[in-house]
Structure 1
């Protein structure tokens, strides 16, 4: 279960529209934002951390890029499955 990413692989890209969130099953990722053509590292996330959750509730673009740091396995949870699980 989950998708495997290699070092440097992009998981989500700033500016893209999303409809799912992600849970890190193994490994680490970095969250970066681009501002005035520069990458700014916002934070690093690891096992059991999650990101992209606002896409479940809002139809907005991603506010940051998330990139794998080394090998990482990440579970995708789409809006439909998430919402059906809480009803």
Structure 2
């Protein structure tokens, strides 16, 4: 995903260990993992809702705009021409 190899990953972990400290590193990793999981769930929800809207928009029949709306009992609201 980020094209990070093993040496780069080790370097990131060493820098994080120096900056955060050994006692806080597991807590930081746990909270970062939870945040990343929550972000992925939210992204999946957004993707699912967009897919749902696209699918329902494709399935709706097209409305015909050339026919005027009908009034009560199937009569048109416009007066009839004689």
What range is the shorter-chain TM-score in? under 0.3
Report the structure number with the largest CA radius of gyration: 2
Report which of the two has the higher share of strand. 1
Q: TM-score, normalised by structure 1?
A: 0.21
Q: Identify which of structures 1 and 2 has the higher relative contact order when contacts are C-alpha pairs closer than 8 Å and 6+ apart.
A: 1
